[in-house]
């Protein structure tokens, strides 16, 4: 006797429903959620509301999972503090985090959100050319502590360049404009928004070297219940599936 095939959509919905069934032992609403000012992924609008690509996906995913998301409870704070807290505490979630191999075992992951490119920016007028990592030793490079750009630079073999750290991308952009630093290690898309925020023309700057391309994810502290991670992942999968129809 032949087994009847279950239509894909019916099976898909059944699977998602079983994953997202209510459970007090594994609640998305119990998470402490951290983020930073990182446009266009997550940032406060002029009206003071938390906005961005990652925020919109998170809102849709929580709704899909029948969970309540209070944007006012999301902590927007400097990246180094959030990055440390998300690794040390229980039931913490941080976004948006570049998922790269050396971070893989530091967190549990749900996503992806979008793909990003981490680059080195320079003033066009400086005509800086970077052909290989050894060329970087001649320049002062700016970055944020524990940010992906800084971490990638520190992992470069034989890197001997000077690095200046700041907790704020705004201050780094201003340093680049005033030539206090030669290069800025940062997300390509986000940098353009920060230029505009600080009344600088993005066309006056250029990316001179690509450090990596990596997807952005929601990152959970390792002690977070795996069911919580699975619920958000299932909800993200469903949202992306519906949006693709």
Q: What is the pLDDT of residues 179-237, one digit of tens each?
A: 999 999 999 999 999 999 999 999 999 999 999 999 999 999 999 999 999 999 999 99
Choice among 10-24, 53-67, 186-200 with the minimum mean pLDDT: 10-24
In a domain, residue 160? The reply is: yes
How many separate domains does the chain show? 2
Among 119, 68, 74, 111, which Cα is nearest to 215's?
Answer: 111
The tokens describing 10, both together, are: 């019916």
Give residue 140's Cα distance to chain centre.
25
31, part of any domain:
yes
Percentage of the chain lying above the pLDDT 70 cut: 89
Quote the pLDDT of residue 18: 43
Provide the CATH number for the domain around residue 172.
Answer: 3.40.190.10
Res 4: pLDDT? 44
Verify that 140 and 198 share a domain, yes or no.
Answer: yes
Which of 205, 136, 197, 144 minimizes the C-alpha distance to 169?
144
pLDDT for res 24: 43
The range of the structural domain enclosing residue 240 comes to: 8-115+216-244
Q: Return the pLDDT at 132.
A: 87
Per-residue model confidence (pLDDT) at position 186 = 98
> Is position 3 within any domain?
no
Residue 17 has a pLDDT of: 53
Mean pLDDT, the chain, as a whole number?
Answer: 90
Q: What is the pLDDT of residue 130?
A: 93
pLDDT at 22: 46
Return the structure tokens found at 121. Answer: 């920016």
75-121 residue pLDDT tens: 999 999 999 999 998 899 999 999 999 999 999 999 999 999 999 99
Residue 23 scores a pLDDT above 80: no
Per-residue DSSP letters for 26-57? S-GGG-EEEE--BTTTBEE-TTS-EESHHHHH
pLDDT band (50, 70, 90) for residue 46: confident
Res 64 pLDDT > 80: yes
- The answer as to whether 2 is a domain residue is no
φ, ψ for residue 117, nearest 5 deg: -125, 125
Closest CA to 66 of 120, 122, 16, 112: 16
Instruction: Say if residue 61 is in the same domain as residue 126.
Output: no
63 phi-psi bin (left φ>0, alpha ψ -120 to 50, beta other):
alpha
Q: What is the pLDDT of residue 144?
A: 96
Identify whether residues 202 and 85 lie together within a single domain. no
152-170 pLDDT tens trace: 999 988 788 889 999 899 9
- Residues 111 and 222 placed together within one structural domain of the fold: yes
């Amino acid at each position: 006797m032949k087994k009847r095939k279950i239509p894909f959509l019916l099976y898909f919905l059944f699977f998602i429903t079983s994953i997202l069934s209510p459970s007090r032992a594994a609640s998305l609403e119990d998470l402490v959620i951290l983020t930073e000012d990182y446009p266009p992924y997550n940032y406060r609008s002029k009206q003071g509301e938390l906005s961005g690509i990652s925020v919109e996906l998170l809102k849709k995913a929580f709704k899909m999972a029948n969970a309540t998301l209070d944007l006012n409870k999301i902590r927007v704070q400097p990246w180094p503090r959030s990055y440390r807290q998300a690794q040390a505490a229980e039931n913490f979630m941080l976004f948006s985090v570049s998922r790269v191999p050396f971070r893989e075992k530091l967190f549990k992951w749900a996503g992806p959100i979008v793909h990003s490119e981490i680059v080195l920016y320079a003033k066009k007028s400086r005509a800086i050319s970077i052909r290989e990592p050894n060329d970087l030793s001649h320049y002062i490079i700016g970055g944020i502590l524990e940010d992906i750009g800084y971490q990638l630079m520190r992992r470069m073999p034989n890197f001997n360049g000077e690095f200046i750290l700041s907790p704020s991308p705004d201050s780094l952009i201003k340093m680049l404009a005033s030539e206090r630093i030669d290069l800025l290690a940062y997300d390509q898309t986000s940098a353009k928004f920060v230029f505009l925020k600080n009344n600088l023309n993005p066309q006056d700057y250029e990316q001179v070297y690509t450090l990596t391309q990596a997807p952005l994810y929601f990152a959970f502290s390792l002690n977070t219940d795996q069911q919580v991670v699975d619920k958000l992942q299932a909800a993200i999968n469903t949202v992306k599936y519906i949006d693709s129809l």
